[in-house]
Amino acid sequence: MIKPHRRQALYLAFLLHRLSGLGLALFLPLHFYVLGRALDGEAAFDATLGWTEGPLVKIAEFGLVFLLAVHFFGGLRLLALENLRWSDRHKNYAAAAVAIAFFVACGFLLRAF
């Protein structure tokens, strides 16, 4: 049975912030691999970048930008939570953080295609 506090919006905001950080951490080795290919020469780097033009990679980039934006705005929400007075509007701040992150990621996706 799900505990009652785990159904609240602020717990879900915490969970989304934690999972987005984990997703970003899992992305870093791939990012460093692609950057490391530049050390093998221009041809190797260009060959590695060639597969980034596919539609699946563009959709994955949308997910990456969404995770980054969620983590960023969730972190701002946490800073506000720790440094400002508590109010009942913190649930709205959490929802706004996810909405803004979604729109930022959608803007990136539209620009990518």
Q: Mean pLDDT highest for which of 49-53, 66-70, 95-99?
A: 66-70
Query: Taking the domains of the chain in order of start, what are their residue ranges?
Result: 4-27+53-112
pLDDT in tens, 70-86: 899 888 888 877 787 77
Question: DSSP readout, 15-36?
Answer: HHHHHHHHHHHHHHHHHHHHHH
Please give the share of the chain, as a percent, with pLDDT higher than 90: 15
